[in-house]
Structure 1
Amino acid sequence: MCKVSVVLPVYNAAKTIDKCIESIVKQTFTDWELICCDDCSTDETVSILERWRKKDSRIKLLLNEQNKRAAYTRNKCIREAKGSYIALIDDDDYCALDRLEKQVEFLDNHKNYSLVGSQGHLFDEKGVWARISPVEAPKVKDFLWNSCFLNPSVMIRKSDMEAVGLYRVSKETRRGQDYDLFLRMYAKGFKGFNIQEPLLFYYRGRNSYPKCKYEYRIDEAKIRYRNFKQMDLLPKYYPYVIKPLIVGLIPISLLEKIKHRRGRGDV
């Protein structure tokens, strides 16, 4: 048994996975397991994961037989997890070395919170270039614009994730599975907090707005409608349901200006 299970879905991450895993192995908090699940990578990712598994017995390796995307892959890791806390991380990001320690301390001392995230540094190949600062103690209405958590910075009580059925695997959660999870948890009365320190290094190029296919915008609108209805936010806040559809029609150059004016890493 261990206190924390770090779940890491991996796909074609040969160039970034070493730094990600190293940041877990070097954590000041040591009572953890790292469950990696490769989602049918076509590069050298699996060989790198095998090398890490042989070096540290706390690292587990699972393999998908078909490419299943993040929601399915994370659920597969969580079902294998022995920890009472689930820590999220993505394969192109890495953690501050005291991330787990600070988040475990928070959840141990704040039983009324189900999840805890943090601020994050945005970085690219040239280094850190910005800081993203989610609201400290998000309320339901804070989710109207976007997710209130930097997804790979979050640690969650496993029992509370299980209470909402883990990640929802469906066509519409191909990209928005974390936002959907947090909305469903808040709809059930669970709540979260963001430590006001940057405990995650989050990869994002500084010169290009993250492009999103319009079909994913449609998926997000469906996620919003489904969950806002459960949270009794409709019909009053229906305009926020169609927000991703409207944003998808705005030129990227204008979105960049809006993003910088709002001081956020998303729109």
Structure 2
Amino acid sequence: MELVSVIMPAYNAEKYIEQAINCIIRQSYVNWELIICDDGSIDGTREIIESFALMDKRIRCYHNENNLGIVATRNKLLAKAKGEFITMLDADDLCVAERISVLRNFLLVNDHVGIVGSGVQFISQNGSLKGERKYPETNSEIQNNLLNEKFPFCGAGVMIRKEVYLKIGGYRDYFEGKAWDDHDWLFRSSMHFKGANVPEMLYQYRDNPESFMRNIGPMDYKKFTIKKIAIALGKQRILTGSDFLEDKDFEGLKNLEELHEKPFKKDPSLIYRIMAARAKTNSEKIYLLKKAIKKNIFELRNYYYFLKMVTNKS
């Protein structure tokens, strides 16, 4: 049986990582290795993963003395993967017991496919189901999604052949701390390898937007513009075969950043209006719109949306 490597970066994950590790231990497919890297956690994450490694020889654990970030830690784990197939599980997420088996079997049967994902369920902090999403199943649908700025995978939910990593390499340092690192990586991979998604809901993503909404700051607009930058780089690769990062064209990259950051710099309240539109409760929307008004008292749209929400609430 083929060895499947599961990589799991972890940072201050003591609340959920035991559940995540047990999801891999309970897999119906047993020929796996779980490679975990504690990224300089200051809670009990290190002790938890070490205890599991002592109980199961298929689990290998590593530690970063300092917090290096998700990109550097994922790349460290990818370099240590020994399996013919590689998949992931984030330390606060879950997956069903058949996940490795289903994805591995798909790649065995479909030898023209290099990347396979699945449907994803969104769960709350306590594990209750909040929703689910299916992704396009065929490579043609996946390529069409990429061209139309729709990401066709659950980033951590895919399984790849090792040759994908050997050709593409790891995640790019530019995306460290900005999100969309996995999207950029899979976008680049999809240009060289065919992709697919199975319809089954195999991955469970723990959705916790509250902390981000409450702690959002005026400079967090970079978390929104990075999506547009990643998409623009992807389109550039489609048109020219390369992008600003690959060409080390830092002036071109800077101009691209400035293009997408300009609206946020012009109106510092824009980020709060965007988050208010995405908020799931009226109280969250009102809270964010109040911050928008405080940030830019001259922007009339802030008052319009705030009054609209207050009126609806009453």
Relative to the length of structure 1, the TM-score reads 0.84
CA distance in 2, matches of 1:11, 1:128: 24
Displacement after TM superposition at 1:171 (Å): 4.5
Distance 1:164 1:215 in 2: 25
CA drift of 1:83 comes to 0.1
Q: How many residues align?
A: 249
Query: Are 1:195 and 2:198 an aligned pair?
Result: yes
Using the TM superposition, name which of 64-73 and 8-17 deviates more. Answer: 64-73
Matches within 5 A, 1:104-183: 104-124=104-124, 125=126, 127-137=128-138, 138-143=141-146, 144-171=148-175, 174-183=178-187
Alignment of 1:61-76 (within 5 A): 61-76=61-76
Cα distance in 2 for partners of 1:68, 1:9 equals 11
Distance 2:236 2:224 in 1: 18
Q: Which moved more, 1:165-174 or 1:114-123?
A: 165-174
- Work out which of the two has the higher radius of gyration on C-alpha atoms and give 1 or 2: 2
Q: Secondary structure at the match of 2:173?
A: coil
Matches within 5 A, 1:207-226: 208=210, 211=213, 213-226=220-233
More helix by share: 2
Whole-Å separation in 1 of the counterparts to 2:276 and 2:223: 20
Q: Which amino acid aligns with 2:47?
A: S
**Off by >6 Å, runs of 4+ in structure 1:** none
Deviation of 1:75 (Å):
1.2
Structure with more relative contact order (C-alpha pairs < 8 Å, separation 6 or more): 1
What is the aligned partner in structure 1 of residue 278 from structure 2?
Answer: 255
Does structure 1 retain, via aligned residues, the 8 Å contact 2:116–2:158? yes
Provide, for residues 110-164 of structure 1, a one-character-per-residue CA deviation record: whole Å limited to 9, x for no partner: 1111111111111112611211212222432302333211112111111112201
Any gaps of 5 or more consecutive residues in structure 1?
258-267
Q: Distance in 2 between matches of 1:83 and 1:256?
A: 40
The percentage of counterpart residues that share the same residue type is 29
Structure 1 distance, partners of 2:194, 2:221, is 30
Residues 209 and 134 of structure 1, relative CA distance in 2, 3 Å threshold? farther
**Aligned equivalents of 2:189, 2:127: Cα separation in 1:** 37
User: 1:209·1:252 contact (CA, 8 Å) conserved in 2?
Assistant: no
Residue 114 of structure 1 aligns to a residue whose secondary structure is: strand
* C-alpha distance in 2 between matches for 1:50 and 1:148: 35
Contact 1:119 / 1:198 at 8 angstroms: preserved in 2?
yes
Are the counterparts in 2 of residues 187 and 227 from structure 1 also a CA contact under 8 Å? no
Checking the alignment, whether the CA contact within 8 Å between 1:2 and 1:82 is kept in structure 2 is no
Return the offset for 1:249: 6.6
Alignment CA distance shift 1:106-1:171 (3 Å):
closer
RMSD: 2.7
8 Å CA contact 1:119, 1:150 repeated in 2: yes
Query: What CA distance in whole angstroms lies between the structure 2 residues aligned with 1:67 and 1:16?
Result: 19
